[in-house]
Amino acid sequence: MPTSSSRSQLGDLERAVMERLWAATGDEALTVREVHGALAADRDIAYTTVMTVMDRLARKELVTQERDGRAYRYRARESRASLTAGLMRDTLVDFAEHDRSTALVAFVEDASAEDVAALRRALAALDE
């Protein structure tokens, strides 16, 4: 399971790679070449840079890395929603109990109507 420090320290390129892995069909694992091809459509980026970033994500335990012949295939270890929830939990752990409540209230006050509705549905589901 990824650590809180590995979750919170994603750079822009790491996030772009994770987005591509999350967009993969089903449980499909992608090669560096496939991710590089997708990213290179929008930016000038070297294959070796993508390879380094994907290796770093594997060391951070954010992706799985499996051998496929001479190459590796990668897939996200957890969903985008799970990673986001982990980031939120990691952030709240750093606060004292009173401060946690204050932070949650501040978050909800700034949330959109759609986000508040989603939170209400999630809380109602917990009560069922």
Confidence at 102, pLDDT banded by 50, 70, 90: confident
- Rounded Cα distance between 93 and 5, Å, is 13
Does 101 or 57 have the greater pLDDT score? Answer: 57
Is pTM beyond 0.75? Reply is yes
- Rounded Cα distance between 117 and 109, Å, is 13
The residue among 85, 63, 81 whose CA lies nearest residue 72 is: 63
Residue 3 is predicted with a pLDDT of 54
Percent of the chain whose pLDDT exceeds 90: 59
Residue 4 is predicted with a pLDDT of 52
Confidence at 105, pLDDT banded by 50, 70, 90: confident
